[in-house]
Homo-oligomer: A and B are copies of this chain.
C-alpha cells in the first residue's frame, strides 16, 4: 500500500477487503496485475495501483465509484493502456478500473449513421464489427486503442483532416460520476442546443471527472472509391504549401501525412522501400470514381507548382495498402533506427501557416543536439509527432532530449498552437498546459472541484490540484 493522501484514509486493508467482497474474482491485488495496470505505452514507468477491479456493467462502475468516493480512494479508468502521457499511472495509488470486459457493440443504426458501444471496444474491433455493413468509423490513432480511452484523450489520427477527431464524432456519453450517479450527456440527434455541452466536457478529460460507460459515435459510409498517392518535395515548405492550397481549394482529402527525410530513411530501411529521402506527402482520397481521380489530379498540379517530384497515385488496393502499411509501420521503423534507444513519442499542433517553420526549427535543434528523432505529421491539421529515440542509460542524452522537447512545445505555443494535438496531458505535460492556457486552467480546476469534490478521479492528471502527485518520475 503506497498512497499519499492529504485528505483521506485511502485504500487500507479493510477497504480492499470490502472491495474483494463485492467483486470476488474480478478483484485482484496481485503484483503482476498491479504492475500491468499501472503502465501505458509511453516512456513513463509503471506506477501500480493498489488493486485492479474488472467491471462488467454500469452498475459495477457505479457501485465501485460510490465506495471509493466514500473512502476517498483514487480511481483510475483503464481501457487498452495505449495512452502516451502516463494517463493510467496510479500517482496516488488507488483502484484501477479495468474496462476491457465492457466490450460490446450495443447498437448499429444504419439509417442514422451512428453506433452505441461500451468503452472497452477497440477501434479495430468496431471496424471489424462493421465490416459488411457498408459503414466505418474513421478515427485511427496509431494503437488499437479502446474507444473509451479515445474519447477520454480526444484522440485523432490520419483521417482527422476529413472526418474530424473524437471531438467531432462523439454524439453522447453515459458517464458514472465520482459519487456513483449515472448521467447521459447527449442524445442520438446530430445536433442540439440543449444546455451545456457535457459530452465535450467529458471528451478529453482523461478520466478526471468520471468513468465513461457507454458511447454513441458517428459513422460514415464506406466510400465508393479510394485512391492514394505519394509525392516527395525539395523542401518542407513546398510540401506544406501544397497542403495549404489543397485545403483552401476545398479538395476533400481524406488523409494527408507529411514524413520528414529522417522518417523516410527509417521507413526505407525497415520496409525495404526506396522512397527518395526528402520531405514526402502520403495522401488518400475518398469519393466516387470520378471524384478521387479529379482530387488526385488537382493535388498533383499543386504539388508540381511547389517543387513536388513524381506524383504517383493509384486506386489499386494492393499498392494503397503497401503505402499505408509503410506509414503504419513508421513507429517500428523508428525503433529500428536506434536499437538501444527507447521511444519517446510526443506531439504538438500549430496553425498550418507555421507548421514548416515549427518543424524546421525543431529539426535544427535536434541536429545541434545530436539527437535521432523522425518527424511525421498529420499535416492537414497542423499536427506533428516527434519520435525521440533516447538511451535512458545516458543521463546527458535524456537531458538534451528533455530540453529540445521543452523548446519544441514552447515554440508551438508561441506560434499560436497547442502543447498536444492528440496525445493528451496525462502527467507528462502538466506544466505545458499551464503555460498554454494560463488562467483557464483555474477554470478547469473549478470544474474538477465541482464534479469531483473529493478528488478521487485519476488524481494528478491534466492539472495539478489540491491533491499533488507525490510520486512523479524524472
Contacts and interface: CB of A to CB of B under 8 A. Distances in A.
B200 A250 contact: no
B433 A194 contact: yes
B351 A188 contact: yes
Contacts of A114: 351
A114 B196 CA distance: 25
Interface in A324-352: 349-352
B195 A221 contact: no
Contacts of A382: 112, 189-190
A182 B439 contact: yes
Give chain A's interface residue range (CB within 8 Å of chain B). 35 or more
B190 A381 contact: yes
B443 A189 contact: no
B193 A155 contact: yes
A421 B198 CA distance: 16
A290 B286 contact: no
Interface stretch (A119-127, A262-270, A301-309, A444-452): A444-452
A418 B160 contact: no
A185 B154 contact: no
23 contacts: A111-B248, A112-B352, A112-B382, A154-B197, A183-B439, A187-B436, A189-B382, A189-B383, A190-B351, A190-B383, A192-B349, A194-B425, A194-B433, A195-B437, A195-B444, A195-B462, A195-B463, A196-B201, A197-B204, A198-B443, A200-B201, A447-B450, A450-B450
Contacts of A221: 247-250
Given A196-B204, A353-B111, A446-B450, A381 B191 contact: yes
A165 B203 CA distance: 18
